[in-house]
Amino acid sequence: MQLSDCHLFKETEGKLLGLNTEHSLSKVMDLIEAEQPNLDLVLATGDLSQDGSGESYARFHDTMAQFSCPVYWLPGNHDLTDIMANHQAAQRMSPCVIDQGDWQIIMLDSTIRGKVPGNFADTELTFLEQALTASAGKHVLIALHHQPVPVGSDWLDQQIVGNAQEFFKVVDQFSNVRSIIWGHVHQVFETERNGVQLMSVPSTCVQFLPKSQEFAVDKESPGYRWIELYPNGTIQSGVSRVTGVEFEVDYSVKGY
């Protein structure tokens, strides 16, 4: 299961665009509990905190402790990795490789400290190439925070992974990569590139309007993505959203 972009604050009353992010995450967690009783793994793909506070990460850690399965984190542009690391075992943060039966999941850090757009450090691309080389005989899913391809929203696509071409140059060398997933865009985007499934996930808080030229908020509810990985390399995945709950969002805000 993938969840992303929780944007928690130091205080539980913290709001993003008028929405209490603690409340919306709790509603997504209720949904996951009801729908996914047998999870094997949880991937949290960045912007777990809005303000980088230790308190927000401690609460996220406590929330994730409700799962009986392992939970892996990677940072987003709002996160502070050194503070994140104080609240989660280091081996459960990116960059890392997760062995999951016939699959390997590679968690990457696409952030530039203090900047909104994404870019892979040379060390991250080296890690990716080494991990893919060692993945022979397994199917691979790669997770990161920023989108590596345009999603069709002009303002968001200014924040794409800056060296995505170099990233795909590595990926394209390996025929066992099956899927790439990310957060950041606060919306559902799905496409295919060279036979590889590319997928984003809704935020657990505010949603951004797809195909918008300028910053715009969507009226869709918070949600998560479920993913089923099969031994033969096929993938089934879908998105589930909270229903029956009214979320107070300030649609007049023109940025976040």
**Beta-ladder partners of 199:** 181, 190
Q: What is d(CA 35, CA 31) in angstroms, rounded to the nearest whole number?
A: 6
Q: Which two tokens stand for residue 112?
A: 């530039």
Q: Can you list the residues of the chain whose pLDDT is less than 70? A: 89-91
The residue among 184, 203, 189 whose CA lies nearest residue 24 is 203
Per-residue burial over 176-195, b if 16 or more Cβ lie within 10 Å, else e, is ebbbbbbbbbbbbbeeeeee
The label of the residue with tokens 């047998």 reads 38
Q: What is d(CA 41, CA 71) in angstroms, rounded to the nearest whole number?
A: 6
Residue 120 CB coordination number (10 Å): 26
Q: What is the reported pLDDT for 89?
A: 61
Three-state secondary-structure class, residue 128: helix
pLDDT digits (tens, 9 = 90+) for 23-74: 999 999 999 999 999 999 999 999 999 999 999 999 999 999 999 999 999 9
CA dihedral 99, 79, 170, 203 (to 10 degrees): 80
CB 34 within 8 A of CB 59: no
What spatial distance separates the first Cα and last Cα of the chain, rounded to whole Å? 26
Q: What is d(CA 33, CA 30) in angstroms, rounded to the nearest whole number?
A: 5
pTM of the model: 0.97
